[in-house]
Amino acid sequence: MRKFAIIGCGRIAERHALQISHLANLVAVCDIDIEKARLFAKNYHSEYFDNAKAMFDAFPEIEIVSICTPNYLHAEHSILALNYGKHVLCEKPLAIHVTDAQKMIDAAHLNDKKLFVVKQNRYNPPVVLLKSLLNDNKLGKINSFQINCFWNRPDEYYMRTWKGKKELDGGTLFTQFSHFIDLLYWLLGDVKSVKANISNFQHVDIEIEDAGVILLEMRSGAIGTMNYNVNAYKKNMEGSITLFGEKGTIKIGGQYLNTIEYQSIEGQNIEVNELGNPANDYGYYQGSMSNHDKVYENLLKAIDDADTQFASAYEGMKTVEIIERILEAASKNTP
């Protein structure tokens, strides 16, 4: 069985550890909070450390490392693992600066190891369907699109944590909505131009935006908007993508891209019986769909087979690049 380690023992790490325990062997975990690491390791019969170098030195047989640390540490910890000769699966976002993402890719090439990023929304059944429709040209040329991300993050979410701090978090597009930027790129290709306005309306104690409106022109010629915020009252409201093509229109939505809300497609009437896994539940809020089972199943295939489809480090870097362009465009509108 493949031997894994996890760096970062927060909530998302539980998702990783669960799937690793089903498919492989979780050898060791690491967190700067040694008590947190100890309790985490106890549940999975693993060793625990508060120093990643010490972990790698003690267990050279570790093959794959899952990076579950805060956004700003993804690059540092991924590069460390790669330099120790490990394959890496990094939680989203890959990094919060393109320069760091490129350093991660360079480290993977230098050490002849694979670097992947978690993009679990690609496995949502309606998203799989949408990708298939595009691959088979069932919608014809896509002319325009609309992406809506209306979620809720209460003040408690940002208390006593790295979240909401600009240099540690990066912003809402990184922490909440990088999955949607990834899907934009995965489904429609690269961005040609972008205009944006962002603001903070309801979270006075954070350093990042809580709402934004983006106007995008794709290299394909399609134009569209992305409207996002974490100010939906009390609970997550909607995560949706609507595509308008020459031969069809389709909207996938619900709270987490888990339903088909509208379809009118030439010669098609599609049903999706499987709506995917439950959302990640964090108590007072919910996150994206939890498809980490599919992430790990495909990860183990992709380690050995270059033809297995998996979110690559390059695609992760493109997400970071697009978000940086959005934030740069928005900064031009700031007095």
Cβ of 291: how many Cβ atoms within 10 Å? Answer: 24
Phi–psi pair at 116, nearest 5 degrees: -120, 160
For residues 257 and 177, the answer to whether their CB atoms sit within 8 Å is no
For the cut 60, the answer to whether the pLDDT of residue 286 exceeds it is: no
Distance CA 50, CA 166 (A): 25
Q: Give the whole-angstrom CA distance, residue 295 versus residue 279.
A: 15
Helix (H) or strand (E) holding 199: strand 191-199
* Amino acid type, 314: Y
The residue among 122, 134, 322 whose CA lies nearest residue 216 is 322
The 3-state DSSP class for residue 333 equals coil
* pLDDT over 90 percentage in the chain: 87
Cα atoms in the Cβ-side hemisphere of radius 13 Å centred on 265: 23
CATH 3.40.30.10, domain 3-120, yes or no = no
Which residue ranges does the chain devote to CATH 3.30.360.10?
Answer: 121-288+313-331
Q: Which of the four pLDDT bands, split at 50, 70 and 90, describes residue 285?
A: very low
Instruction: Render pLDDT for 178-226 as a digit per residue (tens, 0 to 9).
Output: 999 999 999 999 999 999 999 999 998 999 999 999 999 999 999 999 9
> What class does CATH assign to 121-288+313-331?
alpha beta
In the chain, which segments carry CATH 3.40.50.720?
A: 3-120
Which helix (H) or strand (E) segment is 30 a member of? strand 25-30
From the centroid of its chain, how far is CA 168?
16
Residue 331: phi, psi to the nearest 5?
Answer: -65, -25
Of 150, 133, 134, 84, nearest to 113 (Cα)? 84
> Mean pLDDT over residues 311-334, rounded?
94
pLDDT at 268: 86
Residue 25 tokens read as 């062997």
